[in-house]
Amino acid sequence: MPLHLHSYRLTLPFLLIVLSLVSGIMVTIRYASSYGLAIGLPTLSQGKTQPRPNESQYQEHGSTVSFDWHAPQNWQVNDLDQVVNGSGIYGWTFDSSHNDPASTKYNWCNMPHLAPHNYPHPPKGYKLEYVEVLHRHHKRTPYASNTFPEEAYVWDCNDEGLFFSGQPLQPLSEASANTYWDVYTSDANPLRPDGFNGSCQFPQQTRGGLEDSHRHGADLKAVYGDMLRFIPSQYDPDVLSYRVTNNVITSQVASMLVSGMYPSLASKDVPLLIQPASIDSLEPAYPCPASDDLFSSYGVGSSSSAWLKHLQASQSLYKRLDALSGVSPTDPGWHKSWDHYFDNLSARLCHNKPLPCQIGNASNCVDTSTAEDVFRLGEYEYSFIYRDSSQSLAASVASFGIWIGELAQNIRHAMGQDLPASDGNDVRYRHNVAHDGSVARLLSILQADRMVWPGMGAEIVFELYSKHDKYFLRVLWTAEILKSSHPELGNMDMVPVEIVLSYFDGMVGKKSSRVLSLCSES
């Protein structure tokens, strides 16, 4: 026994040392694995192994954040049975820009945005430091590719002017005339455009869309200027900046939004930031073949059974609309998704135009119920593409990651971090006018708990606050606090900024340093 006891006493310390070493090695391996996954976001390539829950994490400033996709809430929009067999459109508005001031209800024609009557005030003690807005352009004519081969009535836009001009600056010499496009067709030109005849471009902002843009700007100024005293009463280019994409409709919106915020700028020169068309991060338009491949592997145009399910379930609706519209049943653009019919019908309703009838048969028309069937299917598609598919996060991160990196850098600058020595950057309000694809990708990356198709004028607002030398981020969507399915983001109301920045950095890298590799993965 003494011998055995002595052996035990010798062995116990030895075992403790071994166990300590093994534990240390395991921790090291686990940390290395987690970090490796953090810098290798769930692969864009279909068929590669996806990280298991909670393995994809990154730690910075004491904050550990998961990069996993988290499923959105199951609700009426992504319930295929309700979508195919239901009726109506959830009580939402598709036929008017008018919004009830007391409501934040979905309105496709003019989405809810911040205004003094609906602004959710932050808790006391928080100081607003920085604001960045991303919003979709306002209502427009449909894209030409989304019009029927022949339309029964014209669509005129002679109640507005779309101004295009240029003049020398710095130094200014001769001033230009305020020239605008006046669309016409010549009787000596035997060709006629498909779709609507008339004096519009397809697309362009309509007068109603321009007026909504002006109201949007006035409401934002009333919040951040008049109510919160955060932006100056008079325009200061050192404090505010506006950015657009290379699609001209965003510039059309910005021109009215700016004069809505600052009426003194009407007919004045105001710069709009824009990136080169081939690398525009806001539209987004930079090349990202891996993201394109991933989207097309499970979404529009794919042979994925999950995608085809709703198209197969709505074949009778396609058959009815094809016969009425004159669209060929074999036209892939109209039948790989419900996008074309959705745009065509919703644009009419938003501008108080009648739903279409069959050419030569005025008794065979699209009724409201049929249009609502289309709208439910379109909403379902956006939810599937950008949230319901587990591949949506990786596809969105790659294709919109550069803008995310720019946003993260802007937030850091607002906190006084990473500023070049010569930088006197005092910009505290940035406004980006973009598209539904821009807003949808951002909602995808933020893992919105309820995904919808972002309607006309839809806005997401990032507000940076400080309190007791710490920074917090608040995200507003349709004038309410954004709710994320991501457990660390949750209700995005005063989230410690290091959590959000760790999430962004782990996804795209600081200054978007990982996006090129994400876009080239195969």
- Return the pLDDT at 459: 98
Q: Which residue has the tokens 């109301």?
A: 493
Under DSSP, the state recorded for 150 is B
For 195-228, the DSSP string reads B--SS--SS-B-HHHHHHHHHHHHHHHIIIIIIT
- Return the pLDDT at 522: 61
d(CA 195, CA 165): 28
Q: Which residues are CB-contacts of 189 (< 8 A; sequence separation ≥ 6)?
A: none
Nearest to 138 by CA among 375, 386, 459, 461: 459
- Return the pLDDT at 468: 96
Nearest to 125 by CA among 494, 521, 507: 494
- Return the pLDDT at 6: 39
Which stretches does DSSP call E strand in 252-353? Answer: none
Nearest to 220 by CA among 260, 174, 272: 260
Strand, helix or coil at 372? helix
d(CA 327, CA 334): 8
- Return the pLDDT at 494: 98
- Partners of 140 in the beta sheet? 205
- Return the pLDDT at 227: 98
- Return the pLDDT at 411: 98
C-alpha pair distances (Å), 440 with each of 152, 324, 459, 467, 508: 33, 31, 11, 31, 17
**pLDDT tens track, the chain, 522 positions:** 333 333 333 344 444 444 444 444 343 333 333 333 333 343 443 333 333 233 355 454 445 799 999 999 999 999 999 999 999 999 999 999 998 877 899 999 999 999 999 999 999 999 999 999 999 999 999 999 999 999 999 999 999 999 988 889 888 888 889 899 999 989 899 998 889 989 999 999 999 999 999 999 999 999 999 999 999 999 999 999 999 999 999 999 999 999 999 999 999 999 999 999 999 999 999 999 999 999 999 999 999 999 999 999 999 999 999 999 999 999 999 999 999 999 999 999 999 999 999 999 999 999 999 999 999 999 999 999 999 999 999 999 999 999 999 999 999 999 999 887 555 578 999 999 999 999 999 999 999 999 999 999 999 999 999 999 999 999 999 999 999 999 999 999 999 999 999 999 999 999 999 999 999 976
Nearest to 155 by CA among 137, 143, 169: 143
d(CA 124, CA 122): 6
C-alpha pair distances (Å), 18 with each of 25, 26, 28, 155, 277: 11, 12, 15, 81, 60
Strand, helix or coil at 429? strand
d(CA 354, CA 44): 43
- Return the pLDDT at 213: 98
- Return the pLDDT at 43: 40
Strand, helix or coil at 459? strand
Taking the model in full, what pTM does it have? 0.88
d(CA 490, CA 485): 6
Nearest to 286 by CA among 168, 458, 189, 406: 406
d(CA 79, CA 325): 28
Q: Which residues are CB-contacts of 331 (< 8 A; sequence separation ≥ 6)?
A: none
With 0-12 CB in 10 A as exposed, 13-18 as middle and 19+ as buried, what is 233? exposed
Nearest to 475 by CA among 489, 486, 488: 489
With 0-12 CB in 10 A as exposed, 13-18 as middle and 19+ as buried, what is 40? middle
